[in-house]
């Protein structure tokens, strides 16, 4: 079984609200490049937003640096189907253009999923990615629990993903809800049903992830996601070194060298110490917490909720908000909790508690989800509840993007004064004002795009 290293994306997204900077990554990259990971997850998810909003980094420049410094690694990213990396559905021409630019800047593996697991929302991204010969298309199926989420549900989803063009499947357990035996059974069933590799993505939140990976390995798992130990455990992933050691000299041997991994560990331990000292890393998130199995809240969402409540001076409401989450989720048609549905449900749960009355205040995004604008929810929404939330607005029953006119040209026009590279329109499309603020700072501070990175276009690694 091979490993995908997540320290450059999901591990810091889950533990330090996605604040690892490229200059903090750089010293480790030459060594990461030599380890022999199946792939290194390093882009997408919340990293793009965080680069623009908090880190004053151009996400595209980051990708080009990673490509240059990791020439022997397959780079992997997380992509939310028709949502791309933003928080609404985008037009098909924008999604296609984004996928083209991702390939042109050197990405190897694009992991695509839809928060509601509505496969119609993956069609455009998959067909665009299939046209880029250098891209491996992985379809991720969000794991969640609930009456309809039987093994058959996931097997059916896996087959559907294979049929619409997936090169591999990932069972994506963002909320750490998998238990070891369920994992074994599920991986076994999925492996039997499809003829493409299967990967497991699970978090350590509830303390079960290493056991899940072990049972998955025994059931024929091809790849698993882990994180180097300094940013592992808690709401992050299983420590890479532990899995390497556990599987040594077994049929599932990862083939990785523990001595080299120990060198990486000592580098990232210095960063960990810094994050603990500057408060970015909250030790609360490192404790195993099996209540995740009750609240069904993913790692990234736990750390975001806590920081949102801190900002509002309502930290003491954390427990109450966590208990409200499953109630809001039920009202919303039992969506798996993963970006953006996790933010939408999480924010609505927080509003319900902070305002003291449920649905007294409703976010625009929650209203849109209830309207069907994000796609089909796993369970139909109660019409009475829908009416209460959306009023006289028209419910959406088709593929949501069918209602969106092409918008790329218009967006290009709107931000043309600020464009320093063609990719800038994709920052503007997804992050609007935040992107403009970034462009302004980029111009004022005169931090320019380094053209040497732009030239290093496609690196065929696969
Ligand atoms: Co994750």
Three-state SS at 77: strand
Three-state SS at 88: coil
User: What pLDDT is recorded for position 159?
Assistant: 98
CA 42 / ligand 1 centre spacing (Å): 12
User: Who contacts 274 (Cβ-Cβ below 8 Å, separation ≥6)?
Assistant: none
CA 71 / ligand 1 centre spacing (Å): 25
259-312 pLDDT, tens digit each = 999 999 999 999 999 999 999 999 988 999 887 787 667 656 777 788 888 888
CA 412 / ligand 1 centre spacing (Å): 32
User: What pLDDT is recorded for position 461?
Assistant: 28
Distance between CA atoms of 146 and 129, rounded to whole angstroms?
Answer: 32
Three-state SS at 82: helix
User: What pLDDT is recorded for position 146?
Assistant: 83
Distance between CA atoms of 415 and 392, rounded to whole angstroms?
Answer: 34
CA 316 / ligand 1 centre spacing (Å): 26
CA 241 / ligand 1 centre spacing (Å): 18
User: What pLDDT is recorded for position 343?
Assistant: 87
Is there a contact between 5 and 227 (Cβ–Cβ < 8 Å)? yes
Distance between CA atoms of 146 and 151, rounded to whole angstroms?
Answer: 11
CA 440 / ligand 1 centre spacing (Å): 32
Peptide bond into 340 cis (omega under 30): yes
User: What pLDDT is recorded for position 382?
Assistant: 96
Spatial CA neighbour of 139 closest among 190, 214, 208, 86? 190
Domain 286-402 has CATH 1.10.472.90: yes
Is there a contact between 306 and 315 (Cβ–Cβ < 8 Å)? yes
CATH architecture designation of domain 2-277: Alpha-Beta Barrel (3.20)
User: What pLDDT is recorded for position 457?
Assistant: 35
CA 142 / ligand 1 centre spacing (Å): 10
CA 312 / ligand 1 centre spacing (Å): 26
Strands, E, within 165-278: which ranges? 168-173, 198-202, 223-226
CA 130 / ligand 1 centre spacing (Å): 24
Neighbours of ion ligand 1 (CB under 5 A): 10, 174
172 strand-pairing partners = 142, 201
CA 304 and chain centroid, separation: 14
CA 202 / ligand 1 centre spacing (Å): 7
Q: Where in the chain is CATH 3.20.20.70? A: 2-277
CA 80 / ligand 1 centre spacing (Å): 12
CA 416 / ligand 1 centre spacing (Å): 35
- Mark the ranges of the chain whose per-residue pLDDT is less than 70: 295-296, 298-300, 446-462
Is there a contact between 321 and 349 (Cβ–Cβ < 8 Å)? yes
CA 298 / ligand 1 centre spacing (Å): 8
Give the angle 64-140-169 at the CA atoms, nearest 5°: 100
Q: Where in the chain is CATH 1.10.472.90? A: 286-402
User: What pLDDT is recorded for position 88?
Assistant: 84
| Helix 341-354 with 364-371: angle, nearest 10 deg | 120
Spatial CA neighbour of 125 closest among 99, 88, 90, 161? 99
Give the angle 361-383-92 at the CA atoms, nearest 5°: 80
DSSP code, position 380: P
């Amino acid at each position: 079984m091979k490993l995908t290293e997540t320290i450059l994306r999901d591990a810091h997204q889950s533990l330090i609200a996605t604040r690892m900077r490229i200059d903090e990554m750089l010293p480790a990259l030459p060594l990461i490049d030599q380890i022999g990971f199946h792939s290194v997850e390093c882009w997408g998810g919340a990293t793009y937003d965080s680069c623009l909003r908090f880190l004053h980094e151009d996400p595209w420049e980051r990708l080009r640096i990673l490509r240059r410094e990791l020439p022997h690694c397959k780079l992997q990213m997380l992509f939310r189907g028709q949502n791309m990396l933003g928080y609404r559905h985008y037009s098909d021409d924008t999604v296609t253009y984004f996928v083209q630019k991702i390939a042109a800047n050197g990405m190897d593996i694009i992991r695509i999923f839809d928060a509601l697991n509505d496969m119609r929302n993956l069609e455009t991204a998959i067909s665009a990615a299939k046209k880029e010969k250098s891209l491996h298309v992985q379809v991720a199926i969000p794991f969640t629990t609930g009456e309809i989420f039987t093994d058959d549900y996931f097997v059916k989803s896996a087959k559907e993903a294979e049929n619409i063009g997936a090169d591999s499947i990932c069972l994506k357990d963002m909320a750490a809800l998998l238990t070891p035996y369920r994992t074994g059974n599920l991986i076994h069933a999925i492996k039997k049903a499809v003829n493409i590799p299967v990967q497991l993505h699970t978090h350590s939140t509830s303390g079960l992830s290493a056991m899940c990976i072990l049972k998955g390995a025994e059931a024929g798992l091809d790849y698993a996601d882990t994180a180097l130990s300094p940013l592992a455990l808690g709401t992050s992933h299983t420590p890479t070194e532990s899995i390497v050691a556990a599987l040594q000299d077994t049929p599932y041997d990862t083939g990785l060298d523990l001595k080299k991994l120990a060198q990486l560990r000592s580098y990232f331990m210095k960063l960990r110490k810094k994050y603990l000292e500057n408060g970015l890393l909250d030790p609360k998130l490192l404790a195993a917490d099996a209540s995740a199995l009750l609240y069904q809240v993913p790692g990234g969402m736990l750390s975001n909720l806590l920081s949102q409540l801190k900002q509002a001076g309502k930290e003491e409401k954390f427990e109450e908000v966590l208990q409200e989450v499953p109630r809001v989720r039920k009202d919303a048609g039992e969506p798996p909790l993963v970006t953006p549905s996790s933010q939408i449900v999480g924010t609505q749960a927080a509003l319900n508690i902070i305002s003291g009355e449920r649905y007294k205040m409703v976010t625009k995004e929650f209203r849109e989800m209830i309207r069907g604008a994000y796609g089909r929810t796993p369970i139909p929404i109660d019409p009475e509840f829908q009416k209460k939330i959306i009023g006289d607005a028209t419910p959406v029953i088709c593929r949501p993007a069918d209602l969106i006119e092409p918008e790329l040209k218009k967006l290009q026009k709107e931000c043309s004064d600020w464009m320093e590279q063609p990719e800038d329109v994709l920052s503007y499309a997804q992050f609007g004002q935040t992107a403009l603020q970034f462009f302004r700072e980029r111009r004022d501070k005169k931090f320019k795009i380094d053209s040497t990175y732009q030239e290093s276009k496609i690196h065929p690694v696969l």
